[in-house]
Amino acid sequence: MSVVLRLKMFGSKKRPFYRIVAMTKSEKRDGKALEELGSYDPKKGKDQVVLDRERVEYWLKTGAKPSETVKSIIKRLDI
């Protein structure tokens, strides 16, 4: 079971809102997540990221691979 940290889309057509989640690689984008780690609202600016740092670090230590977008968010927050 390969785990990936990626974005799960919520919101409407022109008002997207994302949750940062840990899920299996084979799961669909809006499928069932193993754990929700935070949220990201691109319309409100770069400061609108909420993350549970401890859980993100846990998933990275256990071998979860972040997507490119999540990787840039994590890098911006210095995790």
CATH number of domain containing 51: 3.30.1320.10
pLDDT confidence of residue 59? 95
Q: What range defines the domain where residue 35 resides?
A: 3-76
Count of domains in the chain?
1
pLDDT value of residue 30: 82
Q: 46: pLDDT confidence band, cut at 50, 70 and 90?
A: low
Determine whether 73 is exposed, middle or buried from the number of CB atoms within 10 Å of its CB (0-12, 13-18, 19+).
buried
Cβ proximity of 21 and 37 under 8 Å: yes
Q: What is the mean pLDDT of residues 2-30?
A: 91
Q: Measure the CA–CA gap between 40 and 69, rounded to whole angstroms.
A: 11
